[in-house]
Amino acid sequence: MLLVAAGCGDESPPVAASPSPTVVATPTATAERAPSTAALRRLERRHDARLGVYALDTGTGRELAYRADDRFPFASTFKALAAAALLREVGVDGLRKTVPVEQLVNAYSPVTEQRLGTRMSLNALASAAVRYSDNTAANLLLDELGGPKGLDAILAEEGDDVTRMDRPEPDLNVWEPGQVKDTSTPRALAGSLRTFVLGDALDAPERAQLTRWLRTNTTGGALIRAGVPDDWTVGDKTGTGATYGARNDIAVLWPPERDPIVLAIMTRGRAADAEPDDALVAAAAKATIAVLG
């Protein structure tokens, strides 16, 4: 059941929706007035920001979509997909492979900076990338996948032909209005996360490993995790852009005794020097869960 699908225009052109799940969008004018997204519209105005949300209750099929097909810079959320793609390619056993850590990315690398000049296993690198958002670790994962375009191709094979992966860290974090490279949509990211965590793209051991990384993420305490009930289990990956205050979180939520909910929240400011807004993401998560029940 589609609660609402808002297709409000952004600076970038419309894009095709991810094929899982498929919905028919409500006309924009109707969506903008829909009671189910009233709180999200108020949040946009209050925070002077652009907000995109897509949520799917996998048990009931109910969806909530608000600017769900608008493009946003995805920032570090891609690291969850890179780790998932690596698991698809090499399996849990293949994570034993070690690679040299020879050069640090000139950006946030809290784990690999302690291991410079040594070798790290792919398991340790994937953990660092997902759980600590380590940029050097993420780039080493991309190297194993054939670079950004290698990840792009794997996502397309799994049905996501919307997410556009072009550059490694830290360059992918720089975004300008109208830019398509290194962007995605809330619907596409939620769809890819669902495919890898809850679908059949990975075998059971690989799904379990990816889920453990996401559930033990250390960077999301102020985002979706702050907007859902305390007794819900959350597995998420955050992202922060270098321009326009981009701040994102993609997650699978496990409410007690219910099927999972997949949620993607993407935000950005309206000025190039805007600051990332954790409170907006948390409030959007809370408003979304209130609608889905």
Q: What is the pLDDT of residues 224-281, one digit of tens each?
A: 999 999 999 999 999 999 999 999 999 999 999 999 999 999 999 999 999 999 999 9
169 is known as an active-site residue: yes
**CA-to-CA separations, 81 to 86, 228, 238, 277, in angstroms, rounded:** 8, 23, 12, 23
pLDDT, one tens digit per residue, over 139-159 is: 999 999 999 999 999 999 999
The superfamily CATH assigns to domain 2-292 is DD-peptidase/beta-lactamase superfamily (3.40.710.10)
Each residue's pLDDT expressed in tens, for the chain with a length of 293 residues: 555 444 333 333 333 333 333 332 333 333 334 668 999 999 999 999 999 999 999 999 999 999 999 999 999 999 999 999 999 999 999 999 999 999 999 889 999 999 999 999 999 999 999 999 999 999 999 999 999 999 999 999 999 999 999 999 999 999 999 999 999 999 999 999 999 999 999 999 999 999 999 999 999 999 999 999 999 999 999 999 999 999 999 999 999 999 999 999 999 999 999 999 999 999 999 999 999 98
User: Residue 241 and residue 248: Cα distance in Å, rounded?
Assistant: 9
**CA-to-CA separations, 55 to 1, 67, 78, 161, 186, in angstroms, rounded:** 12, 12, 18, 19, 9
Domain ranges of the chain: 2-292
Annotated catalytic residue within 18, 36, 76, 192: 76
Annotated catalytic residue within 169, 184, 192, 206: 169
- Do 249 and 186 touch, CB atoms closer than 8 A? no
**At 234, is the secondary structure helix, strand, or coil?**
strand
pTM, 2 dp? 0.90
